[in-house]
Amino acid sequence: MSVLLEVSELRASYGAVRVLHGLDFVVNEGEAVVILGANGAGKTTTLRALSGMVETSGHVHFDGHSIVGSRSEQISRIGIAHVPQGRGTIVDLTVAENLRIGAYRRRDREVAADIERWYDVFPKLEARADQQAGNLSGGEQQMLAIARALMSRPKLVLLDEPSLGLAPIVTQELFRTLGELNHTEGLSMLIVEQNANLALGIGSRGYVLETGSIVVSGTTDELAGDDGVRRAYLGV
C-alpha cells in the first residue's frame, strides 16, 4: 500500500493564535482514516490546513506534490476534495448545477455519466435534480455535498463531521454509503468526526486529536479498545 498523503510537523494558526502544534499522520491509498477529537481540538482546522484555507506551515506531500502554501483551487485540482462542515452545498444552485460545479475542472466528456452514477448512489438527489439545493433536507444536502466533491474524481476526500446535525438513521445510511465507496471503489478518505462509534466503524486507522496535538494513534480496533478513547469518545 503506497502513501497517498503524508503530513509532518503541520502547524496552523488563525492570526496570532496557533491551533495545530505539529501534526504527523499519513493516509495510504484506499484507506479510510479517522481523526477523532472533542470540540475545539483542531479537527476542522486540520482539514482546512490541508485545503489551503488557513495559514499553514510544515510539510504536506500529496501524490507527488508539496501542497503547503498552495491555493484551495489548486489543491482541489490535484485531487483533494473537501466536504466542509455543515452543508457544503451551494444553496442557490440546483442539485444538478451543484454536481456540474463539482466537475468544473474536468475537461472529459463523462461528466453527465458521472452525474447519473451519483444519482444511482444517492437516489434522493435525482428526484430533486432541478430543485435549489437550499430547499433540500439536511441529510440530502450532506449527500449532495459529498456527491459534488466526488464529481471532481478526487484521489482523496476530506470529510468534516458528515454526521453533524443529521438524524441518526440518516447518518447511518450516509456512513454505510461512505463505507461502500471506500471498500468497493477504493476511495481514500480522511474523516473528522465527533461521533466516534460511527467513524471507527468505517475507518481502518485513526488518530485522536487533543488541543492541536495527536495524542493517540492506531488501527480503529486498537482505538476502540483503548481505555482513554473509550472513556472520552465512546461513552463507556
Residues 135-174 that bind other proteins (CB under 8 A): 145, 148-149, 152
* Residue 53 grid coordinates: 484555507
**How far is the C-alpha of 196 from the C-alpha of 37, rounded, in Å?**
9
Sign of the dihedral defined by the CA atoms of residues 22, 25, 26, 27, in that order: negative
92 part of the interface to other proteins, by CB under 8 A: yes
Nearer to other proteins, 96 or 209 (CB): 96
Shortest distance in whole angstroms from residue 91 CB to other proteins:
6
The yes or no reply on residue 88 touching other proteins (CB under 8 A) is yes
Contact of 46 with 33, CB cutoff 8 Å: no
Neighbours of 164 (CB within 10 A): 15
Regarding 82 and contact with other proteins (CB under 8 A), the answer is yes
Answer yes or no whether residue 84 interacts with other proteins by CB under 8 A: yes
Near other proteins by CB under 8 A, which window of 84-92, 174-182, 195-203, 224-232? Answer: 84-92
Q: List alpha helices for the chain, DSSP H.
A: 43-50, 72-77, 95-102, 111-121, 123-127, 138-150, 168-185, 196-202, 220-225, 227-229
Q: Contact between 220 and other proteins (CB under 8 A)?
A: no
Closer by beta carbon to other proteins, 76 or else 220: 76
The site map against other proteins for 36-65 (x = CB under 8 A) is ---------------x-x------------
Classify strands 55-62 and 17-28 as parallel, antiparallel or unpaired.
unpaired
Q: Which residues bind other proteins (CB under 8 A)?
A: 51, 53, 72-73, 76-77, 81-82, 84, 88-93, 97, 100-102, 104-105, 145, 148-149, 152
